[in-house]
Amino acid sequence: MMTYEPFPDFQDFPVAFDSTVVQGCAERLKRVRETVTVEAQDRALRVATRQAAVDTGAIEGLYTTDRGFTRTIATQSEFWERALDARGEQVRRSIEDALAAYDYVLDAVTRSVPITAKWIREVHARITAHQETYTVVVQHGDRESAEERPLPHGEYKVLPNNPVNVSTGRLHHYASPVDTPAEMSRFVDQLTSPEFLAAHPVVQAAYAHYAYVCVHPFADGNGRVARALASVFLYRDPGVPLVVFADQRDIYLDTLEAADAGNPVPLVSFFRDRVVDTIALVIQSMQIPDESSAVSAINQAWGDGLDEGARLAAERLLEAGLDCLKGEVASRQLPSRVSMYAQFSAASPYPCLPDGYTYPDLRSGAVVLISRVSGQSVSLRCVCGLGTCLDLRHPAFVLSADDGSPPLYVRREEIDPSLESQLEEKLKIWAKSVVAHNLVALAASIE
């Protein structure tokens, strides 16, 4: 009969981690932060934090979500509260609890509050504040039934919470209620061990998450607490939370199962990729200009050598960029005398590309975004550039516009053979930035 296997001490967590990619992204994040306002930095971090909070409950099946809903709530765009209300009071409360818990975690990191068992219990109490019950499966002879039981907030479990693996039918054992306090004490000790403190933050986050879920100290809410806890180490460095979207749930659970089988490398790699993607989203968010004054001004005035695979990937990226620009334009409520549209154009000149990139010969040429108001017209061109130095520091493609908006760098694996959902999210943020720059330019032309 299988029993609980205590989580490994950190020195027995076998991972050789190459920090090159994460370090490069972190350095770029630092450079960009030095060029934007504190308000822009805070806003971008807030968006990432809200993304983490919105989807953490969806991963556990408390509600369903999609990238559009998450983006609406995370960016607090127009009608975001209405979108939240449409999901019902229970969903609203679950998301608000998660937001409060992540704020608590970020505040603790900012104030260098140490992680203790009591602090973890407080995280649980906050992230489950409005969850009154949890579901347990009870055996009645030859049959099973689901029962709702009151959920204690911030208190360790008093009954076993060992789930059955649906695919294998085997019982998975977590720490028993009797062993939980001692295991949590050992867990906290591991987080202050010299070996752990010397490790890279990504490895720290992955280990803390995994060791914690091995114990599963609470009756329910352990996954949500684990992701908030992992964010502690990533908030410290490079300065972003752990963002796992609901549509990444399956691969996320697969990496946890691999760690259970003694191979934590996929879990650490998954965390690394989430950090890289989140840094990219934060950078994109920080570089979106403040368009409020531009919109206000408008309202006030007028109420070559490409292989075929790479070529197809570049075409796909440019088409996706056009679709996102069209979607962003359609979402704006501009004055009736202002027109804005995006379309393909073969006309030149094309915008300058960043160093290390060249123009590929694409059928679609470039994307042009045009804004007009009472005789004044502002246009910009966006092209897809191909990297001439394809290594970790130079992603394969770049979307670059001639208006000064930040370029979007894209790795080939993000788009070939198909667009990853994470890239779709970055494209939408890029489109938002391009449209905002165009509005600012239009306002300047009016003046």
Q: Which of 352, 357, 329 is nearest to 428 (CA)?
A: 329
Question: φ, ψ for residue 171 (rounded to 5)?
Answer: -80, 130
User: For the stretch 305-323, what's the b/e string if a residue is b when 16 or more beta carbons lie within 10 angstroms of its beta carbon?
Assistant: eeeeebeebbebbbbbbbb
Q: What's the CA gap between 370 and 50, in Å, rounded? A: 33
Let me know if residue 4 belongs to a domain. Answer: no
Distance of CA 196 to the CA centre of its chain: 25
Global model pTM greater than 0.85? no
Total domain count, the chain: 2
Query: Tokens 């996102």 sit at which residue?
Result: 324
Q: What's the CA gap between 128 and 134, in Å, rounded? A: 10
Those residues whose C-beta lies under 8 Å from the C-beta of residue 141, and which sit 6 or more positions away, are none
Which spans in 176-304 are helix H? 180-190, 194-197, 201-215, 222-236, 249-260, 265-286, 292-302
Q: What's the CA gap between 41 and 282, in Å, rounded? A: 8
Residues 65 and 126 in one domain: yes
Residues 316 and 275 in one domain: no
Residues 345 and 272 in one domain: no
Those residues whose C-beta lies under 8 Å from the C-beta of residue 333, and which sit 6 or more positions away, are 78
Tens of pLDDT, residue by residue, the chain (447 residues):
468 889 999 999 988 999 999 999 999 999 999 999 999 999 999 999 999 999 999 999 999 998 888 988 888 876 688 788 888 999 999 999 999 999 999 999 999 999 999 999 999 999 999 999 998 877 666 777 788 999 999 999 999 987 765 555 567 789 999 999 999 999 999 999 999 999 999 999 999 999 999 999 999 999 999 999 999 999 999 999 999 999 999 999 999 999 999 999 999 999 999 999 999 999 999 988 766 555 555 444 434 445 667 778 888 888 898 899 999 999 888 888 888 888 887 766 666 777 777 776 676 677 777 777 766 777 777 777 776 654 444 567 888 887 777 888 888 888 877 788 888 899 999 999 888 888 888 888 776
Residues 109 and 254 in one domain: yes
Amino acid 111 reads R
Those residues whose C-beta lies under 8 Å from the C-beta of residue 129, and which sit 6 or more positions away, are 93, 97, 100, 153
Query: Tokens 């490079």 sit at which residue?
Result: 238
Spatial contact of 280 and 398, defined as CB atoms under 8 Å apart: no
Residues 161 and 231 in one domain: yes
Residue 222, domain extent: 10-286
pLDDT at residue 307, as a whole number:
63
Beta-bridge partner residues of 399:
384, 408
Q: What's the CA gap between 72 and 47, in Å, rounded? A: 10
Spatial contact of 310 and 343, defined as CB atoms under 8 Å apart: no
Residues 209 and 231 in one domain: yes
Angle formed at CA 92 by CA 91 and CA 94, multiple of 5 degrees = 65
Q: What's the CA gap between 249 and 55, in Å, rounded? A: 10
Let me know if residue 5 belongs to a domain. Answer: no
Residues 212 and 110 in one domain: yes
Q: 262, 286, 310: which is the final residue of a domain?
A: 286
Q: 253, 270, 286: which is the final residue of a domain?
A: 286
